Amino acid sequence: MDYLPADFQDRGLFLELFGQNVYAVGGFIRDHLRGNPTEDVDLLILRHQVDEITAKLKPHGRVDLVGKSFGVIKFTRKGKTYDIALPRLDKPEDSKKRTHKDFKIITDPNLPLEQDLARRDFRCNSIALRLTDGRLIDPFRGQEDIKNKILRMTNPQAFPEDPLRVLRAARFAAILKFSIDPSIYELAQKIDLSGLSQERINDELFRILFNSDEPSRGLAEFFKLGVLKQLFPELYELTLSIQDAIFHPETDEFGHHTVWPHTLITIDQAHRLAQKNNLPPAKTLCLLLAALFHDVGKPATVTWEYKNGRMVITNKGHDILSEKITTQVFNRMKLFSWNGVDVRKITLNLIRCHHRPSELWQNREVITRKALNRLAADVDGEIDLLIFLDVADRSGRSPQPIEELDQEGQWLKQKFAELNVSQETIKPLILGRHLLSLGVSPGPKMGKILNKLYEFQLDNEFQTLEEGLKIAQKIIAQEREKQSFSKASRPSKPSPPKKKTSGRKDKDQPTNSKKRGKK
């Protein structure tokens, strides 16, 4: 294809300002050629200095200069933001641990377009579209790769200079559903990723989780490209830990019964449940991270046991250990809140409790409101997320896409509704202000009483404020009685010994009458 009739909101304005010197580049063209057009447009402007470009743009919108040395401008007009760049060369700088920033950026308005395209990562991204007539400039046969759905390096010699490209390969493979050229795998094994910033690593991981129909595709590429081994060794351990072939029949493409295939299927199932139930982004991230790390404690807890007439692989206590290991991973990722939600706390709660729903199901004939209260409190009321994780985990034994909650998931959801246990009902009914009105002063004693009352509430000893206040009065009375009894039974302090009134010091006092006569 020589021409592409791709249009976008402000194409006319850019043509008016820059004429034949303005080109659309990158993903905008790639996605149009894939038949999946996008409004995200990156532009390249030739034969103009940065100051000249900004001067022309300012009357028409907001201009933000990302960095004059980088030659990148963000232009926002009518709520739409464009990334605008000048042609440039990326010269790698010497560094023991190369990062995505170890480059000397050389911008040159007169640089030939083909040289700017040559610095880009993959051939499918190294295509330009001239806005004046829609002509495609494709010196590296990117259209051929798009047609064949494959990622190939634009410049194999320059590819290792930016280690972030290894992670981007996984992301593009997952989102575009492209295969990766084998030469990239071979090269990636030799690229040191330790210099990458945690922020960029998180960004690539989160894009895979959010933007892929099947996040497992990107995570599988992380494994094949060496990203797991270098950046997520806790997940890499899952690829080496076997599972029981009867209880976990799922395998990888070569028939290996490890925890890794189960993890990949589980995260895809969790992704489907998140989409089907319209979870907001932050809650989706909690669910997907919990699915990704829920079994990282298995390698350290794996053992053989003789059960039901055969040797069985078990992983007792892996849920608790998984929480501890994931805490360490999150420390490294510097992951706490995200979009105003405490992703760290919610995710760790889900991982620690991910076996509890199955335990409730096994004891469903005798289940009580107390048990549901306790579970709801342990996940801070994120009941739906826990149910989704439990169902995804159980569905992680088959790649068959999940359509809805299974029998166990539906039962648990109905049971919580039937017994009226929710995020709202587990909130403490008795607060500090209530104890103040009953004469309890602020301090450790108040905290102790509040904790005791909340335990009674979770144990279903009371369900209303009035009932709780009655119990509170009894506890306060008991505490006061204990205090009074303690004071009454406390022995009085002994009187201090009387001081001797002799003018002689004790050490000069003779202690034996016989010695008194001796010199």
Can you tell me the distance from the alpha carbon of 437 to that of 441, in angstroms, rounded to the nearest whole number? Answer: 9
At residue 328, what is the residue type? Q
The token pair at 320 is: 């608790």
Residue 483's pLDDT is what? 82
Cβ 129 vs Cβ 6: under 8 Å? yes
Residue 110's pLDDT is what? 94
Q: Mean pLDDT, consecutive 10-residue segments, the chain of 519 residues?
A: 89 97 96 93 95 96 79 92 91 56 75 95 97 96 98 96 97 98 97 97 98 98 98 98 96 96 98 98 98 98 96 97 98 97 98 97 96 98 98 96 96 97 97 96 95 97 96 94 74 58 44 41
Can you tell me the distance from the alpha carbon of 2 to that of 88, in angstroms, rounded to the nearest whole number? Answer: 25
The DSSP result for 178-195, as a single string, is -EE-HHHHHHHTT---TT
The token pair at 389 is: 């994780």
Count of alpha carbons within 13 Å of 200, Cβ hemisphere only?
A: 15
Can you tell me the distance from the alpha carbon of 314 to that of 304, in angstroms, rounded to the nearest whole number? Answer: 6
CA 140 to chain centre: 36
Residue 92's pLDDT is what? 64
Could you tell me the CA-to-CA distances from 119 to 28, 126, 166 in Å, in that order? 18, 8, 15
Can you tell me the distance from the alpha carbon of 102 to that of 70, in angstroms, rounded to the nearest whole number? Answer: 13
Can you tell me the distance from the alpha carbon of 328 to that of 375, in angstroms, rounded to the nearest whole number? Answer: 24
Residue 485's pLDDT is what? 73
The token pair at 490 is: 């406390």
Give me the phi and psi of 448, to 5 degrees please: -65, -40
Hunting for tokens 């170890």 — which residue is that?
A: 102
Hunting for tokens 């960095």 — which residue is that?
A: 67
Quote the radius of gyration of the chain (alpha carbons, Å).
34
Residue 105's pLDDT is what? 73
Could you give all domains of the chain from N- to C-terminal order, each with its CATH number?
1-147 (3.30.460.10), 272-425 (no CATH), 432-485 (no CATH)
Bridge partners of residue 45, in order along the sequence? 22
Q: Classify the C-alpha dihedral 396-199-208-342 as positive or negative.
A: positive
Residue 6's pLDDT is what? 84
Cβ 273 vs Cβ 265: under 8 Å? no
The token pair at 337 is: 């809140």
The DSSP result for 261-292, as a single string, is HHHHHHHHHHHHHHHHTT--HHHHHHHHHHHH
Q: Could you tell me which of 107, 65, 86 has the C-alpha nearest to residue 22? A: 86
Query: Cα angle at 170 between 295 and 92, to 5 degrees?
Result: 125
